[in-house]
């Protein structure tokens, strides 16, 4: 069964491709390499023993996408391809809406015309904003996100729900909390392109001496140590959830629409300081930091209730924060050896 994975050379995409191949799926990757690199394809092959079919183009190029659907018997899609820098999205809203939504709609046109079902969408806990109560379950009311990036995720969800209802298709909206870590082989991970915005890549580069100091954005939040709390989920655990979500859609034999929504996290919150300490302990390195003002738009606390994924997907996160952070450091060592 061939599964189209858009953005399959990206961070979460590449880990998911590995898990799909490990589970016997044939994978077709479309990725424009705007935030990824070709060597990831070869490293996927090194890990799995199989090189996925790869098409390097931008999904807004509908005519090329049509050719891919003509050439393969595609039975489902996991859509990772999207621009994802929150700050940049505020500066380039039109580009973000165009890239993230046009590419989604182009795939859905093919699905609609060819009668294909089984669509998995990379969504984000950003759709909840600052929730009133913790942990966040799937019934927590949504809030219109502040960032354009977040809005493209929420709009993508709406488009897919309408698609599923109108054409009786099966979709799964996966709301990720904070993905971290790299594959245990250290052959794939999050590529450090530019100055990292996210916490763990920044911690990694600070420990490696690439950055002088980590800035901790605020220690006056109403949390135990004053720093903000998130739910950091190991990327390989997250990738495995995609395979389970896909299998659930495939195994559903009804002719009705199926709209699955799952929060994917560990169920535990960790503060910024806890992450820094865990990184230091796991890797026996020092992470110099300074406390700074809060970052605009940041929420105080977010962690998931993962009961639904556990019950319906038979999935839960298996990897501890420290273990995940060890893989981050191995990945950094790999990048250093590659560049030397």
11, 55, 96, 149: the active-site residue: 149
- Min dist CB 155 to ligand UDP, Å, is 18
Query: Is the Cβ of residue 56 or residue 297 nearer to ligand UDP in the bound state?
Result: 297
Q: How many residues bind ligand UDP (CB under 6 A)?
A: 14
Rounded to whole angstroms, the Cα distance separating 126 from 177 reads: 8
**Should residue 51 be labelled a site residue for ligand UDP when binding is judged by CB under 6 A?**
no
Query: Can you read off the two tokens belonging to residue 52?
Result: 């996925």
Distances (CA, A) of 69 to 61, 106, 150, 327, 334: 13, 11, 29, 36, 36
Instruction: Give the per-residue SS3 of the chain.
Output: CEEEEECCCCHHHHHHHHHHHHCCCEEEEECCCCCCCCHHHHHHHHHHCCCCEEECCCCCCHHHHHHHHHHCCEEEEEECCCCCCHHHHHHCHHHHHHHHHHHHHHHHHHHHHHCCCCEEEEEEHHHHCCCCCCCECCCCCCCCCCCHHHHHHHHHHHHHHHHHHHHCCEEEEEEECEEECCCCCCCCCCCCCCCCCCHHHHHHHHHCCCCCCEEEECCCCCCCCCCCEECEEEHHHHHHHHHHHHHHHHHCCCCCCEEEEEEECCCCCEEHHHHHHHHHHHHCCCCCEEEECCCCCCCCECCECCHHHHHHHCCCCCCCHHHHHHHHHHHHHHHHHHHC
Q: Which of residues 293-312 bind ligand UDP (CB under 6 A)?
A: 295, 298
- Min dist CB 167 to ligand UDP, Å, is 33
Q: Stretches 53-61, 138-146, 197-205, 261-269: which one binds ligand UDP (CB under 6 A)?
A: 197-205
Show the site string, 154-193: x = touches ligand UDP by CB under 6 A, - = not.
------------------------x---------------
Q: Stretches 25-33, 215-223, 240-248, 250-258: which one binds ligand UDP (CB under 6 A)?
A: 215-223
Nearest to residue 19, comparing CAs of 240, 247, 315, 248? 240
Q: Is 234 a catalytic residue?
A: no
**Should residue 217 be labelled a site residue for ligand UDP when binding is judged by CB under 6 A?**
yes
**Should residue 228 be labelled a site residue for ligand UDP when binding is judged by CB under 6 A?**
yes
- Min dist CB 218 to ligand UDP, Å, is 7
| Cis ω before 158 (30° cut-off from 0) | no
Query: Is the Cβ of residue 108 or residue 199 nearer to ligand UDP in the bound state?
Result: 199
**Which of 22, 109, 185, 215 lies at the binding interface for ligand UDP (CB under 6 A)?**
215
- Min dist CB 238 to ligand UDP, Å, is 14
Q: Stretches 19-27, 64-72, 194-202, 277-285: which one binds ligand UDP (CB under 6 A)?
A: 194-202
**Which of 82, 174, 199, 325 lies at the binding interface for ligand UDP (CB under 6 A)?**
199
The residue sitting closest to ligand UDP, measured at its beta carbon, is 228
**Which of 148, 272, 287, 325 lies at the binding interface for ligand UDP (CB under 6 A)?**
272
**Which of 25, 69, 202, 334 lies at the binding interface for ligand UDP (CB under 6 A)?**
202
Q: Phi/psi class of residue 335: alpha, beta or left (left: φ > 0; alpha: ψ in -120 to 50)?
A: alpha
Q: Stretches 1-9, 48-56, 107-115, 196-204: which one binds ligand UDP (CB under 6 A)?
A: 196-204
Q: Stretches 66-74, 97-105, 198-206, 254-262: which one binds ligand UDP (CB under 6 A)?
A: 198-206
Which of the residues are catalytic?
A: 149
Binding footprint of ligand UDP on the chain (CB under 6 A): 178, 197-199, 202, 214-217, 228, 230, 272, 295, 298
């Amino acid at each position: 069964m061939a599964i189209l994975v858009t953005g399959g050379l990206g961070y979460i995409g590449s880990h998911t491709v590995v898990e799909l191949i490990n589970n016997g799926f044939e994978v077709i990757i479309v990725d424009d390499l705007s935030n990824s690199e070709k060597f990831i394809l070869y490293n996927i092959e090194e890990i799995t023993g199989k090189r996925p079919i790869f098409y390097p183009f931008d999904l807004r190029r509908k005519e090329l996408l049509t050719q891919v659907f003509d050439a393969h018997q595609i039975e489902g899609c996991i859509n990772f391809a999207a621009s994802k820098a929150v700050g940049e999205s505020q500066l380039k809203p039109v580009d973000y809406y165009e890239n993230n939504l046009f590419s989604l709609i182009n795939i859905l046109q093919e699905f609609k015309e060819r009668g294909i079902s089984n669509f998995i969408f990379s969504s984000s806990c950003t759709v909840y904003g600052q929730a009133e109560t913790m942990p966040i379950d799937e019934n927590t009311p949504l809030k219109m996100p502040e960032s354009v990036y977040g809005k493209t995720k929420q709009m993508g969800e709406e488009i897919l729900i309408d698609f599923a209802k109108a054409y009786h298709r099966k979709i799964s909206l996966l709301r990720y909390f904070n993905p971290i870590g790299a594959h245990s082989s250290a052959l794939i991970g999050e590529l450090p392109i530019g100055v990292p915005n996210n916490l763990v890549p920044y911690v990694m580069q600070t420990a490696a001496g690439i950055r002088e100091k980590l800035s901790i954005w605020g220690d006056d939040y109403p949390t135990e140590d004053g720093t903000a709390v998130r739910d950091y989920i190991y990327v390989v655990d997250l990738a495995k959830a995609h395979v389970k979500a896909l299998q659930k859609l495939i195994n559903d034999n009804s002719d009705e629409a199926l709209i699955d929504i799952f929060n994917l996290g560990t169920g535990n919150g960790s503060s910024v300081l806890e992450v820094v300490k865990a990184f230091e302990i796991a890797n026996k390195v020092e992470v110099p930091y300074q406390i700074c003002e809060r970052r605009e738009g940041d929420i105080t606390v977010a962690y998931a209730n993962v009961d639904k994924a556990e019950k319906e997907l038979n999935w839960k996160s298996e990897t501890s924060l420290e273990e995940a952070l060890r893989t981050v450091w191995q990945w950094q060592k790999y990048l250093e050896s590659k560049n030397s």
